[in-house]
Each structure stands twice: as structure tokens, then as C-alpha cells.
Amino acid sequence: MENKQTVLVTGGSGFIATYCIMALLREGYKVKATLRSLKKAELVKQMLKQGGLHSVDDLSFVEADLQNEPSWEKATKGCQYVIHVASPTPHTEAKTEDDFVVPARNGVLFVLRAAKKEGVKRVVLTSAFGAVGFGTVKTTPYTEEDWTVLNDTVFPYQKSKTISEKAAWDFIKNEGAGMELAVVNPTGVLGPVLSDDFSHSIQNIKQMLNGDMKACPKLISGYVDVRDVADLHVKAMTMPQASGQRFIAVAGEGFSLLDTANVLRKNLGEKAAKVPTRELPNWLIKLLALFIPKLKAVEPYLGMIKRASSEKAITQLGWKPRSTEDAILATATSLIKLSIVN
């Protein structure tokens, strides 16, 4: 298509963002990707190549930072759409809740304000299941009608996702006249890794394959393949019926860590030799957490069952996610191929 439309993808070196860039370039859009430092541009191109993309002619980079509002006006210039994936990842020095919440909320507002000024048609925000299913207990699957209830059981990361997504909807309602918003809420993101920088859910599979996880804590959550997350972002950006809506991205309803381990063992033969074969009782993990700091982080999630439904994305947008099994195997084979696990 001549006169290609330009899409700004924020946080261009991230796992989901890289796949969004790939999907958009394949669909014939021009993409401008933001990076905190342009030094990362080569790495992004390498990852796109690793993902099977041959031409990056329609890709450009711009420096922008979620803590720096003026940088977004330059970034959004000439863009018809924005896919806002970037989220400040608080490093270990994040001491207080505000270290998570404030940059996340401000970042969303900086991007939306700049997009509004530039006359951007629609913004797609990458939120998270963290804004849907925490602070409450449900036996039925969570849907887009659900919101995380901000109480003491909710971690700073999930709080930041909830508060920043709510801030986005408020902005559109109060100041966004004429600009559209759609939101994607992924569960645990799996899929082929393109470098050694990847999501938390993939960490679990890596630990299983290299023998660091000796037995599985009892945790059930939803998973989704990153390629399907990117596809849902493109649908949310282009389809008229997606405007003003949020969409949960999940394949199936939920999978335990032991289910995941079983899939690896069933399909990978020798390569899954170190994968755990049993589940640890909750009381034992609580006891071990007193001595093993790493387990302390798992403790609050024990016995947590978080099932979610992507019925809405499937029926309204015609989204067709791969199965959780496929996502798990794609993750594992890519970790082996890139020698991230031995």
C-alpha cells in the first residue's frame, strides 16, 4: 500500500513489542519504535531477523523515556496509531509502591497526551491480566468485566498495571475527544524467545529445563503465545469494534506448573531429563521459604487459581490463539536452540 500508515510501538526492545513490530511490518505498516537508548536498535534488528523478518526498511527508531514527557511529542509525530507496550520495569532498587505505580501511570498519560496532540486515531494499550484478576477470588474464569481490587494482597506490579489502565480510560473519557483506545490484557506470555531478554513466565520453563526447579509449586494461571498477543494488538488497532474495549489474551483457561512440566517431558525426550515430575505441597514451600529467599516470592501465590477467558477476543475480533501446549513447546525449543538452556 502506498502512503503507508505509521504506527508508533513503545518499548521497542521488549518481548511483546518486538513481535508487534514484526506483525505490523508484515502487514505493510511503517513502524517507529521507541527505545530508551538508540544503542539498542541493532539488538532489535537482530531479534527481528531471528524471528524470520527479512526486511526492516520500514522500521525507524526514536529515543523516548517514560519518565520524560517532552520526548513523546517527537515520538508520536507523523503517527496514525500508537501501540503502547512499554512499561517501566522497576529494578531491584524499587523500594516503595510508588516506584512501580507513578512511572507506569505517568508514562501512560505522557503517551496519550502526546498522541492526542498529534491527532493519533487510536491507541492500543498493553495492560495485563494483573489489572483484571487480583485482589479477588473467583471460581469461574475472569473476564474483561473484572477489575483487580486494590487491597493488601495485590503486588506493586499488578497495582501499577491496574492504576495505569484506569488512568488511560479516564483520560479518554475526559480529555480524549476523538481519539480511540483499545486495551489488551495478556496472561503469562510464552513463545519463541529471540534473545536472552524475556518475560517472567518463560523463566519458569527455563528453570524446569535446566534443573533449577526440582518440584513444582501449586500454581495455576493462564498462558498465551507472544505471536498471538501481537496478532491481538493488530486486531485491536484496526478493527472498528475494538474501540473502547479491553481484551484478555489467554489460550485455554489455565494450566498448572505441573501440567507445563508434563508437556515438556511428553514432547522433548532427553532434553527434558531435568524437568520436575511432582508437585510440592504448599506447607513445604512455606517452610522452605524461611530459608530460601527465592521461594519467598512464590509464597503469596501458592494455591492461587487464576483462570481467564478470551471468549470476547475470539467472538468479537475473530482471534485464534495457539494452544497452551504449542506455546510451551515453542518456548522450550527456542530456549534450547539459542543455547539459553543446555
State pLDDT tens for residues 44-77: 999 999 999 999 999 999 999 988 999 999 999 9
Per the model's pLDDT, the better-predicted residue between 293 and 105 turns out to be: 105
Residue 38 within a domain: yes
- 173 given a catalytic annotation: no
Residue 279 within a domain: no
Q: Is the pLDDT of residue 293 over 90?
A: no
For the chain, the domain total comes to 1
Cα 332 from Cα 269, distance rounded (Å):
12
Q: Is the pLDDT of residue 307 over 60?
A: yes
In this structure, what CATH number is given to the domain that contains residue 149?
3.40.50.720
Sheet-wide strand order for 188-190 = 188-190, 220-225, 251-256
Enter the DSSP assignment of 320: -
Residue 88 within a domain: yes
Q: How many CA atoms lie within 13 A of 215 on its CB side?
A: 10
The grid cell for 332 is 522450550
Enter the DSSP assignment of 44: H
Q: Where are the alpha helices (DSSP H) in 196-319?
A: 200-209, 226-238, 257-268, 282-289, 293-296, 311-317
Catalytic residue among 161, 206, 235, 306: 161
Residue 214 within a domain: no
pLDDT tens for 136-158 read 988 899 999 999 999 988 888 89
Choose the weakest-confidence range: 158-167, 255-264, 277-286, 289-298: 289-298
Contact assessment for residue 313 and residue 247, using Cβ atoms and an 8 Å cutoff: yes
Residue 269 within a domain: no
Q: Is the pLDDT of residue 220 over 80?
A: yes
Single pTM value for the model: 0.94
Cα 284 from Cα 69, distance rounded (Å):
48
Residue 265 within a domain: no
Across 219-226, average pLDDT: 93
Tell me which residue range forms the domain holding 125: 6-191+223-250+309-316
| Alpha-carbon dihedral angle through residues 89, 248, 24, 44, given to the nearest 10 degrees | 20
By residue count, the chain amounts to: 342
Quick one: which H or E segment has residue 13?
Answer: none
The one-letter amino acid at 144? E
Residue 146 within a domain: yes
Residue 257 within a domain: no
Per-residue pLDDT, 239 = 98
